[in-house]
């Protein structure tokens, strides 16, 4: 059975207060819809940990820094509800924009530091939009735990920091990236890739894995990064926004993986921005 779809925060509040009174734990999986196996793995993790699970579907205008990106973002609510049917999800929360940003809404949640660089430099305002909506979704759902994919690694770090800094009662849980058999990280944007570019898309992960191996063997990022960028352009990517090595915790810039580290990249293929990250060392 497809889960009930709640459209208002009042309906959501009724449901969650009932569950809370009964002493049940609540897990939330925040999404913008266009669900894929990566989202479903988060639902499975939430189901394993929590008595009740809510999946939120809200294409958050505040986190798009480009109007056509917002307009083109895939919206597939009916298919999403069908995909959730086998998982025993208790509710889909799919609010209209007015439920999240009512007339006169004037508040923003900003995390500093962690949002500098990487996607933060290339998508101005993006993380303020993410942290503002996540704070609202955590408070509206009264969730004990919220599940995020490691694929958006900077987002995971930023939202974790936000929840800690604001003493929110929601614990942020990171879950591993789910990939296609050829290595491409699952993303709702993958459906936007023109068919003729799809074969080139796994080059991002392949080149990153080769680069990570060389870093783990002691080479420094500087010179090998240029070779990686050239390999991506050769594969058909039009622009490489960044390839960076950062500490896994705190996202400090590194030249060598001298502590647990993450290699993160963003690059454009066929007019679509792809991001990925992997552990190094």
The least CB distance from residue 121 to ligand PAF, in Å, is 17
Q: Which of residues 165-204 bind ligand PAF (CB under 6 A)?
A: none
Stretch of 14-22, 78-86, 130-138, 229-237 contacting ligand PAF, by CB under 6 A: 130-138
220 annotated ligand-binding residue: no
Q: Does 90 bind ligand PAF (CB under 6 A)?
A: no
For residue 28, count other CB atoms closer than 10 A to its CB.
28
Residue span 39-68 as binding mask against ligand PAF, x where in contact by CB under 6 A, dash where not: ---------------------x--x-----
The least CB distance from residue 84 to ligand PAF, in Å, is 15
The region, left, alpha or beta by phi > 0 then psi within -120 to 50, assigned to residue 270 is left
Contacting ligand PAF (CB under 6 A), which of 32, 40, 94, 274? 32
Stretch of 30-38, 110-118, 197-205, 230-238 contacting ligand PAF, by CB under 6 A: 30-38
Residue at token pair 């500490």:
247
User: Cα–Cα distance between 181 and 161 in angstroms, integer?
Assistant: 32
**Quick check: 228 and 207 in contact, CB under 8 A?**
yes
Q: Does 34 bind ligand PAF (CB under 6 A)?
A: no
- Give how far Cα 148 sits from Cα of 40, 69, 105, Å: 11, 22, 26
The least CB distance from residue 223 to ligand PAF, in Å, is 33
Any catalytic annotation for residue 39?
Answer: yes
User: Cα–Cα distance between 63 and 52 in angstroms, integer?
Assistant: 27
Buried residues in 237-267 as b, exposed as e (16+ CB within 10 A): beebbbbbbbebeebeebeebeeebbbbbbb
The least CB distance from residue 63 to ligand PAF, in Å, is 6
208 annotated ligand-binding residue: no
Stretch of 26-34, 45-53, 76-84, 105-113 contacting ligand PAF, by CB under 6 A: 26-34
Helix ranges restricted to H, the chain: 9-21, 37-49, 67-72, 77-84, 97-100, 119-122, 126-141, 153-165, 203-216, 221-235
Binding residues (CB under 6 A) for ligand PAF: these are 30-32, 60, 63, 130, 133-134, 152, 155
User: What amino acid positions are annotated as catalytic residues?
Assistant: 39
């Amino acid at each position: 059975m497809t889960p009930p779809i709640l459209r208002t925060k009042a309906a959501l509040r009724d449901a969650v207060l009932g569950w809370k009174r009964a002493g049940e734990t609540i897990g939330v999986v925040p999404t913008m819809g266009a669900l894929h196996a990566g989202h479903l793995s988060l639902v499975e993790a939430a189901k394993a940990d929590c008595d009740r699970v809510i999946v939120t579907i809200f294409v958050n205008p505040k986190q798009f820094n480009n109007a056509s990106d917002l307009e083109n973002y895939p919206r597939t609510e009916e298919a999403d509800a069908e995909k959730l049917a086998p998982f025993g999800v208790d509710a889909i929360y799919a609010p209209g924009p007015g439920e999240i940003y009512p007339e006169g809404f004037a508040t923003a949640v900003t995390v500093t530091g962690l949002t500098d660089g990487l996607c933060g430099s290339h998508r101005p305002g993006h993380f303020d939009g993410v942290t503002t909506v996540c704070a609202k979704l955590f408070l509206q759902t009264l969730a004990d735990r919220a599940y995020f994919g490691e694929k958006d690694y900077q987002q995971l770090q930023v939202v974790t920091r936000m929840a800690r800094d604001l003493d929110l009662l929601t614990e942020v849980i990171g879950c591993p990236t789910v990939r296609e058999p050829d290595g491409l990280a699952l993303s709702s944007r993958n459906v936007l890739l023109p068919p003729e570019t799809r074969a080139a898309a796994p080059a991002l992960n392949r080149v990153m894995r080769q680069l990570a191996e060389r870093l783990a063997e002691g080479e420094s990022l500087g010179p090998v990064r240029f070779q990686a960028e050239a390999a991506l352009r050769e594969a058909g990517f039009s622009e490489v926004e960044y390839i960076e090595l950062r500490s896994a915790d705190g996202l400090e810039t590194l030249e060598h993986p001298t502590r647990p580290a993450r290699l993160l990249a963003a690059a454009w293929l066929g007019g679509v921005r792809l991001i990925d990250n992997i552990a190094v060392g």
